[in-house]
Amino acid sequence: MGKHIFTPFGLLAGLTLFFGQAREAKALDVAVVICDVSMFSCPENDIVAGSLFQYIPNNVLGANKYIVQSFSADGYTGTFVTADSGGKFIYAWGTGTAVANAADAGLYLDVSMRQTYVTQSGKWTFGESLNANCNAAAQGDASSIAAQGQVIGTNLAVLGAPGDCGNNGGNVVASSNGYQFTLGTRSQMLAGVSFQLGAVGDTITLPFGDDFPNPDINNGDFITNTSIPAGFTQQVNTPEPSTLAVLCPGLCAMALLRKRLQRARV
């Protein structure tokens, strides 16, 4: 099977595609997409049953607020956290596990989150990180993991490489820092990961994310679901009615397609 092709302009360009055209600022959009070719952005005809899972809330994340969003879709189970410290320092962090099943082994699983924040105007410095662990099966199959951030529409570097599960005992650790951006009063970050799982049972677990970290919080580390700072208030996502209306039919269509694929492979 061909290896996943990672390009600096490809990963987030592809993930952003699944959110449609730019809209009024939203908070913590989530998308999970299955693609049947190793190409970013995934061609429309190669998106398996369209966007498998898409969650679009209708709120903006304000100062000293955070959102915790957990979900499970097509072999990926994870938790995303976004946080805004003082209307200036902003975080997008995710953890989760991707497991290849009989329906999507050998395909490509793209997961992303997008957050819009209230921010102070100014020039600030951002970074991104990836810390993934591949099980023995994924190491043997040379499965891959890639991550990439995006700040106010500009892609950061791609972290990870084709076949990287087969290196360093299956531990894929990478980071990139020092990106400077001039922000306004509303700023958007997007964080995405792409899994290429070679065979049934291949498993990759990770945290990943982007941030402009507050040095007074956790020594500049990410804010996670287990490290919410004192004085922060949780903000609850409110899905748009249109999202709920299209989500159920899409999931039903995916379920039917998965059954057909499974029968075809028997």
Q: What are residue 246's phi and psi, to 5 degrees?
A: -95, -15
The two beta strands, 171-183 and 89-99, are unpaired
Instruction: Give the H or E element holding residue 69.
Output: strand 65-73
Question: What integer is the mean pLDDT of 99-108?
Answer: 81
Question: What integer is the mean pLDDT of 218-231?
Answer: 91
The pTM for the full model equals 0.80
Give the separation between CA 1 and CA 8, rounded to whole angstroms. Answer: 22
Instruction: Cite the DSSP H helix spans in the chain.
Output: 11-17, 136-140, 241-265
The percent of residues in the chain predicted with pLDDT above 90, rounded, is 51
If one compares 23 and 71, the residue with the highest pLDDT of the two is 71
Domain ranges for the chain: 11-265
Give me the DSSP letters along 20-80. -S--S--S-EEEEEEESSS-SSPPGGGEEEEEEEEE-B---B-TTEEEEEEEEETTEEEEE
Look up residue 124 and give its two tokens.
């600030």
pLDDT tier at 51 (50, 70, 90 boundaries)? Answer: very low
Question: What integer is the mean pLDDT of 179-194?
Answer: 94
pLDDT tier at 49 (50, 70, 90 boundaries)? Answer: low
Instruction: Give the H or E element holding residue 130.
Output: strand 122-134
DSSP code, position 143: -
Asked if 56 contacts 39 with a C-beta cutoff of 8 angstroms, the reply is no
> What is the pLDDT at residue 243?
45
User: Which residue carries 């998106």 as its tokens?
Assistant: 47
Q: What are residue 217's phi and psi, to 5 degrees?
A: -115, 120
> What is the pLDDT at residue 42?
66
Residue 74 to residues 39, 53, 119, 260: CA-CA distances in angstroms?
20, 9, 34, 15
